[in-house]
A and B are shown apart, each in its own frame.
Chain A
Amino acid sequence: MSYIAIFITFVFINNFILTQFLGLCPFIGVSKNTESAIGMGFAVTFVMAIASIVTWMVNNFILIPLEIQFLQTITFILVIASLVQFVEMVVQKISPQLYKALGIFLPLITTNCAVLGIALINVTKNYNALESFTAGSSAGLGFLLAILLMSNIRERLDLVKVPKPFQGVPIAFISGGLMALAFMAFDKALLTNLLG
């Protein structure tokens, strides 16, 4: 599959939040205002891109040669957890400004299922290193897109009168559902139309 096809698939067709339900907790939890949504979105994209490549290397250079693929889940989660710590330290040293923007979101990312999800999906789809990286960053961008749209919707929802039981989380889910309906317009036909 070409890289453009992977990009379109993970951003629009198989959007991680709206069709795969990976990473819902931050999607609901951190989408109350646009600023933190952008911070979370970029932090997730960043970690997913790096995690895809690192887990690909771990899988192909360590797990497969030693024939211990059954340890995949344990290894991947450990790699991701240490990677998140590492990224946090590096960002803090290199760019305090970026750390200020992303810092509080980074620890939360370890238990974001989107990151472990993309690592496992890359393995099942048999992607090579560059394809894994493309998939990881596109899935992250898809997450960013969804959480950004969601935060805009929720900021507007603050200004209208919502029935009491629906305030907060329920209306967020329902708006998410309507967004998912809109995203259904993107399907496999999009790929064939665009790329022939």
Chain B
Amino acid sequence: MGKKSIFREFTKGILKENPIFIILLGLCPALGVSSKVINAIGMGAGVIFVLLSSNIFVSLLKNFIPEKVRIPSYIVIIASFVTIVEMVMQAYLPTLFESLGVFVPLIVVNCVILGRAEAFANRNTVTASILDALGMGIGFTLSLILIALVREVLGAGTITIMAIGDFDGIIKIPVIYNAPARVFGLSAGALLVMGYLKAFFNWYSSRRRAA
């Protein structure tokens, strides 16, 4: 494999085949945990870990897993790594675990992960699968952060990131903080923001195609 195509495996997940805005996979967590930026980062980290590990295992085991039971086997592989994420997060990041709630175990049914196992790792080498997983995972995380940024800035006037030392991790946006549009933090706002962002991406890619 040439250097160029390796690079392409990595970057395709970020823009051209972005899982959320272009392929529309993994929508439930994308909207469910995007009310705060920190939740989006946490969710993204969990998904990257599970995606990377399951892609590695699936591509290593692709010659051993019988064709007929491949989907259940993938689900077991994915579920084991999700359980690891669940335990680690509960032990070391209890507040994040609490605010992500049911969406942590639901990483199992995140279609991005199963989709990549079936469509990519299952028929490619380990290196390519690792790059694919990283690209897709980063694309997923960036999209999540984008949705969360829009929702949190407009809905609460804050940006919540990691608390370090004296800094409590909350950046307040001057004007909006005093009069936020609360609806963006609610479920209705999530669907609206997603709709407008998707429309933006459609407009952007159609313009690029025309150029």
Interface residues of chain A, those whose CB is within 8 Å of chain B, are 18-25, 28-29, 70-74, 77-78, 81, 110-113, 116-117, 120-121, 124, 163-167, 169-174, 176-178, 180-181, 184
**A-B pairs under 8 A by CB, number:** 126
Looking at the assembled complex, report how far the CB atom of A47 sits from the nearest CB atom of chain B, in whole angstroms: 13
Assembly CA distance A81 to B109 (angstroms): 11
Q: Which of B83, B195, B202, B206 contacts A73 (CB under 8 A)? A: B83
Q: Which residues of A contact B157 (CB under 8 A)?
A: none
Flag whether B87 is at the interface (Cβ < 8 A). Answer: yes
Nearest-neighbor residue (CB-CB) of A14 within chain B: B187
Pull 5 A–B residue pairs with CB atoms less than 8 Å apart, ordered by A. A20-B187, A111-B114, A170-B199, A177-B188, A181-B188
B105 touches A23 (CB 8 A): no
Flag whether B100 is at the interface (Cβ < 8 A). Answer: no
B188 touches A25 (CB 8 A): no
Interface residues of chain B, those whose CB is within 8 Å of chain A, are 24-25, 27-29, 31-32, 71-72, 75-76, 79-80, 82-83, 86-87, 102, 105-106, 108-111, 114, 183, 186-192, 194-196, 198-200, 202-203, 206
8 more A-B residue pairs beyond the given contacts A77-B108, A174-B191, with a C-beta to C-beta distance below 8 A: A22-B28, A73-B105, A74-B76, A113-B110, A166-B202, A170-B199, A177-B194, A180-B188
B196 touches A24 (CB 8 A): no
| 9 shortest interchain CB distances as A-B pairs | A173-B195, A177-B191, A177-B192, A174-B195, A180-B188, A165-B203, A170-B199, A74-B79, A21-B32
A70 touches B79 (CB 8 A): no
Nearest-neighbor residue (CB-CB) of A80 within chain B: B109
Assembly CA distance A77 to B76 (angstroms): 8
B27 touches A28 (CB 8 A): yes
Q: Dominant SS at the A interface?
A: helix
A24 and B83 contact, Cβ closer than 8 Å, known pairs A116-B105, A180-B191 = no
Q: Which residues of A contact B106 (CB under 8 A)?
A: 22, 113, 116-117, 120
Looking at the assembled complex, report how far the CB atom of B42 sits from the nearest CB atom of chain A, in whole angstroms: 16
Q: Which residues of B contact A172 (CB under 8 A)?
A: 195
A170 touches B195 (CB 8 A): yes
Q: Dominant SS at the B interface?
A: helix
A77 and B79 contact, Cβ closer than 8 Å, known pairs A20-B32, A111-B111, A177-B189 = yes
Q: Which of A23, A74, A113, A174 contacts B192 (CB under 8 A)? A: A174
Nearest-neighbor residue (CB-CB) of B33 within chain A: A21
A166 touches B87 (CB 8 A): no
Assembly CA distance A176 to B198 (angstroms): 14
A173 and B86 contact, Cβ closer than 8 Å, known pairs A73-B105, A120-B105 = no
B28 touches A180 (CB 8 A): no
B198 touches A169 (CB 8 A): yes
B102 touches A181 (CB 8 A): no
Q: Which residues of B contact A124 (CB under 8 A)?
A: 102
Assembly CA distance A22 to B103 (angstroms): 9
A121 touches B192 (CB 8 A): no
A25 touches B108 (CB 8 A): no
Q: Which residues of B contact A21 (CB under 8 A)?
A: 27-29, 31-32, 187, 190
Nearest-neighbor residue (CB-CB) of A121 within chain B: B102
Q: Which residues of B contact A117 (CB under 8 A)?
A: 102, 106
Q: Which residues of B contact A120 (CB under 8 A)?
A: 102, 105-106
Assembly CA distance A180 to B114 (angstroms): 29
Nearest-neighbor residue (CB-CB) of A20 within chain B: B32
A77 and B109 contact, Cβ closer than 8 Å, known pairs A174-B191, A181-B188 = yes
Q: Which residues of A contact B188 (CB under 8 A)?
A: 18, 177-178, 180-181, 184
